[in-house]
């Protein structure tokens, strides 16, 4: 199924860190646009002057850029389009679809609270709906600036959602909401309609939390005599606690994922699968495949819990499929992004080019690579406690003796290679008539401080003879 001249947008409010919910919504819009050869627009909804920051707007653009989500138009800033909105408010007033409201916020707040304690439903009581001219004049004389409210017409309001089907709400359940604040700044529900119309949006894909706003917006489209776009309300991404993602959920900002060492492609793939599935048991997909397979019809109705473990698994999949050069670049980019300095003495390009692919094979995030790299780029070893317990403390004298024997053997080696160091160990093992593991494990522990890592003899070569001899002589207790 292909749509004609698709135009979609994301319209984030720049009021904080960009989190994965926004990223997923952006991704779906982006995929939908690409799939239909349409246009993807970014519009910054900064009508809340108190909370909006340019910094946050930039972070959103950067964050999406990191994910490889590019837009074809924008960013448009609503704060720069204020003049445009005025005439439409005026028009609503003239056609009696809206009215001026002089109620103070304090009074409304009070009423709301009272209703709450009395367990009554509060809705604006339309006190200002039928104000006479003289009443209005009196308020104006007192210097009270009016807000503009939309008059919700009687009867049910229905819209057809591409994912949920028809959804209806009765007029009594919709508030005469404020379209223009008393300070003259229009609100989200008002400008979103104007901009979506003016920008010729054909589809609005956004999270289900906007369903209740949609009724207000549909009414606005009607009042202004415009056709509405098609709506599709996406399921929410929930945290482990099954609540909507918010600031409370710590590691959920894009920046945080980047710091933790996740790859944008892996995150995109994972996010795509949160609320959508291509069927046929497909999971790991390239971006091109994603664009090709994506369709609104296969978006789910129910919310999805963000499963960090699965993301981590998928990230590992991507890391293992990367070629060495790309992996090294991703790793060094990550170092730069997190401002992680490597000790220059050992952290040479040469070492990185050998070590990173080897370590990357057994890591799931870039941060894990860094951690596993530590023994090779620093002489400040910390020894794994359970490793010491298992491979050393049970019989320290014997182990020390064996390590010393191995040290003596490899000190004499003509060449320092994976083969030669292994051959030396095999010989020693035979001479001592013990299992190879009895030597391998303590040696690994002594030279890396760890019980896990790349194959031992690769580690030895990576470290170089000098450091290996040094470490074999400096035993843990």
**Residues marked as catalytic:** 247
Q: How far is the CB of 345 from RNA (least distance, A)?
A: 25
Q: How many residues does the chain have?
A: 477
Count CA atoms closer than 13 A to 347's CA, side-chain side: 16
Q: Site for RNA (CB under 7 A): which residue of 110, 125, 209, 408? A: 209
Q: Which stretch binds RNA (CB under 7 A): 7-15, 92-100, 339-347, 396-404?
A: 7-15
- In this structure, are residues 186 and 179 in contact, taking their beta carbons and an 8 Å threshold? yes
- Interface residues for RNA in 150-179 (CB under 7 A)? 164-165, 167-170, 173, 175, 177-178
Binding segment for RNA (CB under 7 A), chosen from 119-127, 337-345, 403-411, 463-471, is 119-127
Six-digit token string for 76 = 């448009």
Question: Number of helices (H) and strands (E), helices first, in the chain?
Answer: 20, 12
Cα dist from 270 to 70, 262, 278, 307, whole Å: 18, 11, 13, 9
d(CA 305, CA 242) in angstroms, rounded, equals 6
Site mask, RNA, residues 223-262, x = CB under 7 A?
------------xx-x---xxx------------------
Examine residue 208 and tell whether it contacts RNA (CB under 7 A). yes
| Residue 204 phi, psi (nearest 5) | -120, 110
Q: Among residues 339 and 435, whose Cβ is nearest to RNA?
A: 435
Residue with Cβ nearer RNA (168 or 401): 168
261-300 positions binding RNA, by CB under 7 A: 273-277, 279-281, 283, 298, 300
- Residues 32 and 112: their CA atoms lie apart, in Å, by 41
> Does 101 engage in binding with RNA (CB under 7 A)?
yes
Q: Which of 39, 47, 269, 365 binds RNA (CB under 7 A)?
A: 47
Minimum CB separation from RNA for residue 280, in Å?
7
What is the DSSP code (8-state) at residue 80?
G
The CB-of-340 to RNA minimum distance in angstroms stands at: 22
CB-nearer residue toward RNA: 35 or 364: 364
| Least CB distance to RNA at residue 382 (A) | 17
Query: Is there binding between residue 399 and RNA (CB under 7 A)?
Result: no
Site for RNA in 297-336 (CB under 7 A): 298, 300-305, 307, 309-310, 313, 316, 320
Residues 435-464 that bind RNA (CB under 7 A): 436-437, 440-441, 444, 451-458
- 417 belongs to the binding site for RNA (CB under 7 A): no
Q: Which of residues 350-379 bind RNA (CB under 7 A)?
A: 361-364
Q: Which long-range contacts (CB under 8 A, 24 or more apart) does 451-457 make?
A: 451/384, 451/386, 451/387, 451/390, 451/391, 452/362, 453/359, 453/362, 453/372, 453/375, 454/355, 454/358, 454/359, 454/361, 454/362, 455/418, 457/418, 457/419, 457/421, 457/422, 457/425
| The two structure tokens encoding residue 186 | 């229009």
């Amino acid at each position: 199924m292909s749509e004609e001249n698709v135009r979609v947008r994301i319209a984030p409010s720049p009021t904080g860190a960009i989190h994965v919910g926004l990223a997923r919504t952006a991704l779906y819009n982006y995929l939908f646009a690409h799939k239909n050869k349409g246009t993807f627009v970014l519009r910054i909804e900064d009508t809340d002057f108190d909370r909006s920051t340019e910094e946050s707007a930039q972070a959103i653009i950067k964050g999406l850029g990191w994910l490889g989500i590019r837009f074809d138009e924008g960013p448009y800033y609503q704060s720069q389009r204020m003049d445009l909105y005025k005439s439409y408010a005026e028009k609503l007033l003239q056609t009696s679809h809206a009215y001026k409201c002089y109620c103070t916020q304090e009074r409304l707040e009070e009423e709301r609270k009272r209703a709450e304690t009395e367990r009554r439903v509060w809705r604006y009581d339309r006190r200002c709906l039928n104000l006479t001219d003289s009443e209005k004049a009196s308020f104006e004389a007192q210097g009270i600036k009016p807000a503009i409210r939309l008059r919700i017409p009687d009867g049910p309001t229905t819209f057809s959602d591409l994912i949920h089907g028809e959804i209806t709400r009765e007029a009594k359940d919709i508030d005469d909401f404020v379209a223009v604040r008393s300070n003259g700044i229009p609100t989200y529900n008002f400008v979103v309609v104007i901009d979506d119309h003016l920008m010729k949006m054909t589809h609005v894909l956004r999270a289900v939390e906007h369903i209740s706003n949609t009724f207000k917006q549909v009414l606005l489209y009607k009042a202004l005599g415009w056709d509405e776009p098609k709506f599709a309300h996406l399921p929410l991404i929930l945290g482990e606690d099954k609540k909507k993602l918010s600031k409370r959920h710590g590691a959920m900002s894009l920046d945080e994922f980047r710091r933790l060492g996740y790859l944008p492609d892996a995150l995109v793939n994972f996010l795509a699968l949160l609320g959508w599935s291509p069927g046929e048991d497909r999971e790991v997909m390239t971006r091109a495949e994603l664009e090709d397979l994506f369709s609104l019809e296969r978006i789910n109705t129910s919310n999805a819990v963000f499963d960090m473990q699965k993301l981590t698994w998928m990230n590992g999949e991507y890391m293992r499929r990367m070629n060495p050069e790309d992996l090294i670049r991703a790793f060094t980019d990550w170092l730069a992004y997190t401002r992680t300095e490597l000790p220059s003495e050992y952290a040479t390009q040469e070492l990185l080019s050998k070590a990173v692919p080897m370590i990357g094979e057994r890591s799931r995030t870039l941060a894990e690579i860094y951690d596993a790299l530590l023994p090779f780029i620093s002489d400040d070893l910390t020894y794994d406690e359970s490793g010491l317990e298992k491979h050393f403390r049970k019989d320290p004298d014997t182990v020390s003796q064996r390590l010393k024997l191995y040290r003596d053997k490899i000190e004499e080696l003509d060449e320092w290679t994976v083969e030669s160091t292994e051959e030396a160990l095999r010989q020693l093992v035979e001479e001592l008539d013990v299992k190879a593991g009895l030597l391998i494990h303590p040696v690994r522990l002594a030279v890396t401080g760890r019980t896990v890592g790349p194959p031992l003899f690769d580690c030895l070569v990576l470290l170089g003879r000098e450091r290996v001899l040094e470490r074999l002589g400096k035993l843990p207790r």
